[in-house]
Amino acid sequence: MRLYEVTEQPRYMTLASYFIGQRGTQPHFYDEEYEKRGQTSYWHTYGPAWMVKDKAYSQAHLPISQQQTAIGHAVRFVYLMTGVAHLARLSNDEGKRQDCLRLWKNMAQRQLYITGGIGSQSSGEAFSSDYDLPNDSVYAESCASIGLMMFARRMLEMEADSQYADVMERALYNTVLGGMALDGKHFFYVNPLEVHPKSLKFNHIYDHVKPIRQRWFGCACCPPNIARVLTSLGHYIYTPRADALYINMYVGNSMEIPVENGALKLRISGNYPWHEQVKIAIDSVQPVRHTLALRLPDWCPEAKVTLNGLEVEQDIRKGYLHIRRTWQEGDTITLTLPMPVRRVYGNPLARHVAGKVAIQRGPLVYCLEQADNGEELHNLWLPKESEFRVFEGKGLFCA
């Protein structure tokens, strides 16, 4: 689909549509391929027919129009749905749009971790049943959260709804960024929410879990994928549409984009997510009339927005505050996002989080580590009446 957008040659869209339309239909391509290869498979470890028999693993058990849940290999699922969403928008296909909405809803509401991780099963790096979200044996591959961001990006291009940006931000700040060390040389492939380091070498159900980031992997898909998403972050921060420029995340940056009557140039600053205040400065040399749509995060019910020191009209649609005016150099939007420390409780249908609470400030989900809390983390408890205090960090974490 990206090739079609660049070349505008219809044959590329036709080919993408064919691939998606053939998926899950009979006669099945995987069966025919298996026979032509002499009933052999690259994935021979579990028997040569494993990948052929378990078509749900490749989201090929049914046509996409009949699939109801996120299923199979998590990375493949979000990559596939990224393509479906892209095709749905460019072909104006309402049926495929509904497929995306249905499968996104199942994934985001029933199979998503608070950290933006997906794919709870280590067996096959795959989705499980609804609400089956173990914390210690979870897979939550870094690539899966990157694919989740890609899917969210294409959904945002299809419809301006902040729910997609909320998930995108959650994945970026918690799983994707956590997948790479500050030195840029050590990585997490798997992102568990609970780890008991002493047990890992004895209990083989945790063979995939590592207590510290690794130098490299035999299947090293995650490190370059993290680099790819970080170097293309502008596509996630902004969603340009004909009627407005949507700002999805408040990462410090500067950008310039052509609009109908000129060029809109702006800068975002503010040391987000440590600081509550974000500034958006307009640097356009010539006045330009356009709409800026600012995402109001789902974790912040009391966001405040001023333009040149004055409060703006609250034109909020699907989680975005719209400001339309003739922008000129020197205009400044100040967005204040209060970040009290929040207690977040899981869905009661998710049995693995029963009786547990997560701590979140802004988009960041915090963890307790034995380095400063001792080894018996499972014995810690948080009284309901306790109050939180925020301390100023140092270096990268300086608020």
**pLDDT at 377 exceeding the cut of 80:** yes
Q: Are 279 and 305 in contact (CB under 8 A)?
A: no
How much is the pLDDT for 98? 99
Given 211, 234, 257, which residue is the final one in a domain?
A: 234
Segment 307-316 mean pLDDT: 95
Judgement on whether residues 164 and 298 belong to the same structural domain of the protein: no
Q: Per residue in 5-29, pLDDT tens? A: 999 999 999 999 999 999 999 988 8
Judgement on whether residues 156 and 277 belong to the same structural domain of the protein: no
Judgement on whether residues 347 and 287 belong to the same structural domain of the protein: no
Judgement on whether residues 121 and 163 belong to the same structural domain of the protein: yes
**pLDDT at 48 exceeding the cut of 70:** no
**pLDDT at 274 exceeding the cut of 60:** yes
Angle 150-151-153 from CA coordinates, rounded to 5°:
65
The residues, any chain, with a CB within 8 Å of residue 97's CB and separated by 6 or more, are 85, 88, 89, 158
**pLDDT at 49 exceeding the cut of 70:** no
How much is the pLDDT for 244? 97
Given 200, 234, 268, which residue is the final one in a domain?
A: 234
**How far is the C-alpha of 245 from the C-alpha of 307, rounded, in Å?**
16
Segment 298-317 mean pLDDT: 96
How much is the pLDDT for 382? 94
The pLDDT confidence band at residue 175, using thresholds 50, 70 and 90, is: very high
The pLDDT confidence band at residue 287, using thresholds 50, 70 and 90, is: very high
How much is the pLDDT for 31? 87
Strands, E assignment, 25-120: none
Residues in a beta bridge with 325? 290
Please tell me the total count of domains within the chain.
3
Instruction: Give the global pTM.
Output: 0.95
Among 38-52, 71-85, 302-316, the range scoring the smallest mean pLDDT is 38-52
Judgement on whether residues 227 and 242 belong to the same structural domain of the protein: no
Judgement on whether residues 332 and 377 belong to the same structural domain of the protein: no
Judgement on whether residues 159 and 90 belong to the same structural domain of the protein: yes
How much is the pLDDT for 39? 80
How much is the pLDDT for 47? 58
**pLDDT at 330 exceeding the cut of 90:** yes
Task: State the CATH number of the domain containing residue 274.
Answer: 2.60.40
The pLDDT confidence band at residue 302, using thresholds 50, 70 and 90, is: very high
**pLDDT cut 90: percent of the chain above it:** 86
**How far is the C-alpha of 86 from the C-alpha of 92, rounded, in Å?**
10
Judgement on whether residues 242 and 228 belong to the same structural domain of the protein: no
* Structural domain boundaries enclosing 346: 342-397
Judgement on whether residues 242 and 194 belong to the same structural domain of the protein: no
Given 189, 209, 234, which residue is the final one in a domain?
A: 234
**How far is the C-alpha of 95 from the C-alpha of 20, rounded, in Å?**
12
Kind and range of the H or E run holding 84: helix 74-91
Judgement on whether residues 50 and 88 belong to the same structural domain of the protein: yes
Judgement on whether residues 332 and 277 belong to the same structural domain of the protein: yes
The candidate with the shortest Cα–Cα distance to 364, out of 172, 189, 193, 222, is: 172
**pLDDT at 52 exceeding the cut of 90:** no
- Residues classed as catalytic: 125, 221
Judgement on whether residues 230 and 249 belong to the same structural domain of the protein: no
Average predicted confidence (pLDDT) for the chain:
94
Report which residue type is found at 369: E
**3-state helix vs strand vs coil in the chain, percent to 5:** 35, 20, 45
